[in-house]
Amino acid sequence: MSRLVPYPLLSLSLLLMWLLLTRFSLGHLILGSGIALIAGKAMAALQPAQPQIRRWGSVFRLVGIVSLDIVRSNAAVALLILNGGRHGARRSDFLQIPLTLRSQPALALLAIILTATPGTAWLEHDAETGVLLIHVFDMVDEEEWIRLIRDRYEALLLEIFE
Amino acid sequence: MTHLETVPLWLALPIALFLVLGSTLTLLGTVGLVQLRSFYDRLHAPTLGTSWGAAGIILAAILLFSWMQGRPVLHELVIGAFVMITTPVTLMMLGRAALHRDRAEGRGGVPAAVPHPDPSEGPPDVGALSPEDLESTRPPKAPPMAIR
């Protein structure tokens, strides 16, 4: 099983994408499955580190939390642009956060989360020290942001990947 | 687009709502891009367009075309997924390029050079390093591809 389908999640999502992009039919199901399996094999030839998802419950919690945060931060940033940054009172700043997260797929996911929520921009991550440099659009309280990223996202990502 | 009049009111309302929401956020993102002062602030504005701006338009498109074609049309979700995955790449490249430039030119307001290895240990003592360590601190050799 694992030799035939080395990356079951990858193959499954490829098949799903194939079916989304074409009309669903038996022919496309077979063709899509074939392509997904070959792509999985090709991926195995590249031998990337295989991410292990340990807790599916946390995945769904993370998706829920992040979707909520994206909506909230969209509203916040849109409002700030509309009222000219609280009429000039808005302060943006850099923020350094020491992370314990080391797994590459988890860091990639964190980068996507921070980018998808307007108001935080991922700038730099030092793989040696694990220090992440982000830019915060509306810096009210540094501690608050550090807590948000560490306890809300990093803790869940650690649960999922490590 | 000849069957737009067949869309019932209860469906037209959410479609319009999502479309207006998505396009308004995208517009605000571009306004911010023009209006904001520093480069790093400007980085934030367009992410409005790539997050809920895109999501709103995608949701509206899914609802409208699913109704008009009489089957679930979901391939817009793939667009959304790819926008979400690829945005950080561009943003990170722009951000790091700006950081690099600002640090090289010594402008204020930018966090000083990344706290490398361990700030408490000071600059690495070259004499104390083994040959392997030295090798790892050197920039990687350019692959032959880069020369050609």
| Global confidence as pTM | 0.78
Secondary structure of chain B in HEC code, one letter for each residue: CCCHHHCCHHHHHHHHHHHHHHHHHHHHHHHHHHHCCCHHHHHHCHHHHHHHHHHHHHHHHHHHHHHHHCCCCCCHHHHHHHHHHHHHHHHHHHHHHHHHHHHHCCCCCCCCCCCCCCHHHCCCCHHHCCHHHHHHHCCCCCCHHHHC
* Residue among A17, A112, A121 minimizing CB distance to B44: A121
CB proximity A122 to B under 8 Å: yes
On the question of pLDDT at A9 being above 90, the answer is: no
At A4 the pLDDT is 72
Selection from A72-81, B15-24, B118-127 with the highest mean pLDDT: B15-24
What are the tens digits of pLDDT across the range B47-65? Answer: 888 888 999 999 999 999 8
On the question of pLDDT at B118 being above 60, the answer is: no
C-beta separation of B19 from B60 below 8 A: yes
- Which of A123, A133, A136 is most worth mutating to test chain B (most B CB atoms within 10 A of its CB)? A123
Specify the DSSP element, H or E, that contains A95: strand A93-98
Query: So where are chain B's domains?
Result: 4-109
C-beta separation of A43 from A6 below 8 A: yes
The amino acid present at A78, given as its one-letter code, is: A
| Angstrom distance (rounded) from CA B86 to CA A75 | 22
On the question of pLDDT at B128 being above 70, the answer is: no
Q: How confident is the model at residue B2 (pLDDT cuts 50, 70, 90)?
A: low
The residue of chain A nearest to residue B96, with distances taken between CA atoms, is: A123
Q: Do B77 and A124 make contact, defined as CB atoms within 8 angstroms? A: no
At A19 the pLDDT is 87
Q: What are the residues facing A131 on neighbouring strands?
A: A98
Query: So where are chain A's domains?
Result: 8-46, 56-161
Q: Mean pLDDT throughout B83-94?
A: 90
C-beta separation of B91 from B50 below 8 A: no
CB proximity A71 to B under 8 Å: yes
Residues in chain A: 162
| Angstrom distance (rounded) from CA B90 to CA A143 | 28
* Residue among B35, B43, B117 minimizing CB distance to A121: B43
On the question of pLDDT at B147 being above 60, the answer is: no
Between A136-140, B36-40, B131-135, the lowest mean confidence (pLDDT) is in: B131-135
Dihedral sign, Cα of residue B98, residue A112, residue A62, residue B29: positive
* Whole-number percent of chain B with pLDDT over 90: 21
Q: What is the ipTM of this complex?
A: 0.78
| Angstrom distance (rounded) from CA B20 to CA A91 | 29
On the question of pLDDT at A149 being above 80, the answer is: yes
